Amino acid sequence: MPTLILLRHGQSTWNLENRFTGTIDVELSPLGIIEAKQAGFLLKNYVINKAFSSVLKRAIDTLEIILQLIGKNIPVIRSAALNERNYGDLQGLNKTEIEEKYGKEKFLLWRRSFETIPPNGENLHTTYDRVVPYYKNTIMPELIQGNNILIVAHGNSLRALIMYLENIDGNKITEISIATGNPRVYQYNNDLNLLNVNYLLEENQTIY
């Protein structure tokens, strides 16, 4: 029975500074490195046959830390299809300052909405339209073959994938936030029917 594990990269330096990051290629923060190690500790007893990540450094480094910690040498595939959404003109700007300047309603629409596009950026719908076909064409066949898969990506690329995996509509997805460094595990039967889904860490729990 195949298992799919989704993981948002560890905290980045711009997460720490409360900036819109998007497609800007920033490093993990010291806490982000700890979160990656914690994820590796949590996944140590899982059999993982193949891993996928975006091409952004914070996801690549998170995955490398995990694989070093669990001592596994497995195939790794990187794809820009799993990259974070592009926040356009908001990238690099402080979220609190943007909310104060434009108001909470517009801020939340730019940040969370499925359809609203930030200035010169990408909405979650566009992100969905690149993430989900990649999952169907490249990752799902691995699960069908019985392989256990780890995906290390970003808050919005994973929210888009979760929409598909859990049949969540565009209105409800605005309520979902994905914590850094906390593996979300999907367990399937051999016909790829979902049996169970859960995070390995409870909210605010740390073990590493």
**Would you state the pLDDT for residue 174?**
86
Is 100 in the active site? no
Domains assigned to the chain = 3-199 (3.40.50.1240)
pLDDT tens digits, residue range 7-35?
A: 999 999 999 999 999 999 999 999 999 99
Cα–Cα dist 60/81, whole Å: 14
Q: Is 167 helix (H, G, I), strand (E, B) or coil?
A: coil
pLDDT tens digits, residue range 29-79?
A: 999 999 999 999 999 999 999 999 999 999 999 999 999 999 888 999 999
The token duo for 113 is: 């909405």
Is 154 in the active site? no
pLDDT tens digits, residue range 81-109?
A: 999 999 999 999 999 999 999 999 999 99
Q: Is the pLDDT of residue 191 over 70?
A: yes
Judge whether 154 is annotated as a binding position: no
Judge whether 79 is annotated as a binding position: no
Strands 184-188 and 194-199 turn out to be antiparallel
The token duo for 190 is: 């051999």
**Would you state the pLDDT for residue 153?**
98
pTM over 0.85: yes
* Catalytic hit among 17, 27, 84, 100: 84
Dihedral sign from CA coordinates of 57, 62, 63, 69: positive
